[in-house]
Amino acid sequence: MATNDQLKALVKSHADGDDPQFYAIAMQVAAKAARSGQSKFARDLRDLVDDLRKRTSASSRVAAVVPVTQPRGELSSLLTVSYPDARLGDLVLSDDLGARLRQVLLEQHQRDTLAHHGLRPARRLLLIGPPGTGKTSTARVLAGELGLPLFAIRLDTIITKFMGETAAKLRLIFDALVETRGVYLFDEVDALAGDRAAANDVGEIRRVLNSFLQFLEEDASESVIVAATNHPQLLDNALYRRFDTVMNFVLPDDASAQAVIKNRLAIFHISNLSWPRAVVAARGLSHAEIATAAENAAKRSVLAGRTRILTDDLVAALEERPRLTGQRDESV
Ligand SMILES: Nc1ncnc2c1ncn2[C@@H]1O[C@H](COP(=O)(O)OP(=O)(O)OP(=O)(O)O)[C@@H](O)[C@H]1O
Ligand SMILES: [Mg+2]
């Protein structure tokens, strides 16, 4: 039988998600059982581990064939990869945005049919809107629904870090787009706007923007490009033209605020909540702030020994959250 130490190591490796370690310990247990004459148990355990190992390697195969997931040279410092399992239903979107996102998904799902008729699916999206309204979440949902990896590129970091070589770094990223189909999120794309650069960097930023525009135009990959910004007024008109779909995210209306709260409090009793009071308290808050407030109210209730959320707790939590005055913070 397993020793106490082996059991503890099993639990720990399970908690760490360290499959190889978990199986290695299970095999040690099997070996020990065999040594002490429990051959049937040892064989069963060995077969079980073999079987599970095969299954895990099959399910991780997708990740293994994505070349940029391996920190290959420079690329690893330019983008981060994740495999979101976000779904459309997780997002609270206006009817218009929801319809556009579904259309993009449909075209992507049906890209072979479209190709048959010489048509290409929408694949370049520009997401505009205040913080916490679902831009990054939309990129995650695209990746999740399409079963693609999400590659996040922080343009501002790349520009600051690689001043002078930024265009060359962008070239590497656009090469990756061709090599590995995925959703490529260029966050804070307004970093390419000259207005944000220090006077001595303006020429360089202009060059970077021009390279970016050129790469966007030339890109014939199968990847989905998502660019996001809180500062659309900084964007060059030439940039807008390169996108198939421009999605304007706004603060939630009352119905959306209610939906965000309901989603976040799905496992709690909320039948007694006064929605008119809650949605008034949520006005002016982003989806993200409303979700955080709902969670804070839930924590307060749980710690007070209740699973029923009180309107007073929710309203207080909503009123605590910072509101965006106007649309955005102009100090940036
Ligand atoms: N439309 C939405 N529907 C449901 N939840 C949302 C929505 N928007 C934001 N959230 C919640 O807020 C969190 C942060 O949102 P997200 O990162 O998508 O905002 P963002 O628009 O990318 O903001 P930023 O401009 O600051 O990057 C999400 O993880 C989610 O929990
Ligand atoms: Mg974001």
205 Cα: distance to centroid of ligand 1 (angstroms): 28
pLDDT at 196: 57
Instruction: Indicate if ligand 1 lies below 6 Å from the C-beta of 100.
Output: no
pLDDT at 191: 85
Kindly report the average pLDDT of the chain as a whole number: 86
Per-residue pLDDT at 329 exceeds 50:
no
Instruction: Indicate if ligand 1 lies below 6 Å from the C-beta of 91.
Output: yes
State pLDDT tens for residues 172-226: 999 999 999 999 999 989 888 766 556 667 778 888 888 999 999 999 999 999 9
pLDDT at 63: 46
Per-residue pLDDT at 87 exceeds 80:
yes
Per-residue pLDDT, averaged over 279-295, amounts to: 97
Per-residue pLDDT, averaged over 250-266, amounts to: 95
130 Cα: distance to centroid of ligand 1 (angstroms): 10
pLDDT at 200: 63
With a pLDDT cut of 70, the percent of the chain lying above it is: 90
146 Cα: distance to centroid of ligand 1 (angstroms): 19
Rounded to two decimals, the pTM is 0.77
Per-residue pLDDT, averaged over 104-117, amounts to: 95
Question: Which residue segments constitute the domains of the chain, with CATH numbers given?
Answer: 4-59 (no CATH), 67-248 (3.40.50.300), 254-320 (1.10.8.60)
Ion ligand 2: protein residues whose beta carbon lies under 5 Å: 135-136
State pLDDT tens for residues 31-72: 888 777 777 888 888 888 888 877 766 555 444 444 445 546
265 Cα: distance to centroid of ligand 2 (angstroms): 23
SS (H, E, C) the chain: CCCHHHHHHHHHHHHHCCHHHHHHHHHHHHHHHHHCCCHHHHHHHHHHHHHHHHHHHHHCHHHHHCHHHCCCHHHHHCEEEECCCCCHHHCCCCHHHHHHHHHHHHHHHCHHHHHHCCCCCCCEEEEECCCCCCHHHHHHHHHHHHCCCEEEEEHHHHHHHCCCCHHHHHHHHHHHHHHCCCEEEEECHHHHCHHHCCHHHHHHHHHHHHHHHHHHHHCCCCCEEEEEECCHHHCCHHHHHCCCEEEECCCCCHHHHHHHHHHHCCCCECCCCCHHHHHHHHCCCCHHHHHHHHHHHHHHHHHCCCCECCHHHHHHHHHHCCCCCCCCCCCC
Instruction: Indicate if ligand 1 lies below 6 Å from the C-beta of 131.
Output: yes
Per-residue pLDDT, averaged over 162-180, amounts to: 89
Nearest CA to ligand 1 atom 11: 288
